Amino acid sequence: MLDDFMTRAMLAGVGVAFAAAPLGCFVVWRRMAYFGDATAHAAILGIALALALEVSIFAGAMVVALIMALTVTFLTGRGYAMDTILGVLAHSALAFGLVAVSFLSGIRIDLMAYLFGDILAVSKSDLIVIWGGATLVVALILWRWSALLMSTLNEELAYASGLHPKREQLVLTISLAITVAVAIKVVGVLLIAAMLIIPAAAARGLARTPEAMAGIAGAIGAVSAVAGLQGAYVLDTPAGPSIVCVAAILFAGLNLVGWRSKNAM
């Protein structure tokens, strides 16, 4: 079954949706959309360094994304607003990464595959990495679910309950770095933030509890991956962007249905 490239592509897309769903909910609740985007942009530098050092692309992207996220967390509140720090570091890392790639002589690089994904080229070993990373992310989020929710809703109440919001932020940071690393092959650096945010945002109006929102977001992400791949196959369009387009259509459609339902009451 795994010899079929479309089957591998669908499994990879569902794996990324599996990881991005609960994490995307916290990104939406904490208004960290730009944080996720900046971390993804930094991954280009990690890819360049991984190719130069001849190490795993996954490892290089994850390490640089993690360093980027930790740096932003450390610098926030030290004289600069978070959006300023994110803007400086994200665009700087992306620029340095693209320049570094240009110095890699003797290495053939399909830069578009890293920017927008190359899900149709996913191998069996890639599937192991994607699903291994996704499982680790979900395990981290489930382990700290209550603490993360408390820290997101009210930091003062979290402190009063004996929790450390900064530690919970670190859990999210590590999870985000892993998700960015596993999603590069599927949707690429420039579209990772979309897979984090759009399914979670679409699920927000349908859910009554945080747990339900995470589950619905996962379902929307999985449907987007499968339908986007089928659409790309039929229409001969880029796979990664097609997946995001389907997620955006679902977001618009679900919001339109919700808006009409409210007006009908």
Is 228 among the domain residues? no
Is 252 among the domain residues? no
Q: What is the pLDDT of residues 155-183, one digit of tens each?
A: 777 787 778 887 888 888 888 888 888 88
pLDDT at position 2 over 60: no
Is 155 among the domain residues? yes
User: In this structure, are residues 136 and 178 in contact, taking their beta carbons and an 8 Å threshold?
Assistant: yes
| Residue 171 belongs to domain spanning | 5-192
Rounded to whole angstroms, what are the CA distances from 115 to 17, 40, 50, 182? 18, 10, 16, 13
User: In this structure, are residues 255 and 202 in contact, taking their beta carbons and an 8 Å threshold?
Assistant: yes
As a dihedral over the C-alpha atoms of residue 39, residue 41, residue 43, residue 47, rounded to 10 degrees, the angle is: 180
Domain total for the chain? 1
Is 18 among the domain residues? yes
User: In this structure, are residues 76 and 85 in contact, taking their beta carbons and an 8 Å threshold?
Assistant: yes
Half-sphere exposure at residue 47, Cβ-oriented, CA atoms within 13 angstroms: 30
pLDDT at position 46 over 80: yes
Note the pLDDT of residue 219: 93
Is 168 among the domain residues? yes
Is 86 among the domain residues? yes
Is 27 among the domain residues? yes
Instruction: State the CATH number of the domain containing residue 71.
Output: 1.10.3470.10
Which of 20-24, 91-95, 137-141 bottoms out in mean pLDDT, i.e. has the lowest? 91-95
What pTM was estimated for this model as a whole?
Answer: 0.85
- Give percent of the chain with pLDDT exceeding 70: 91
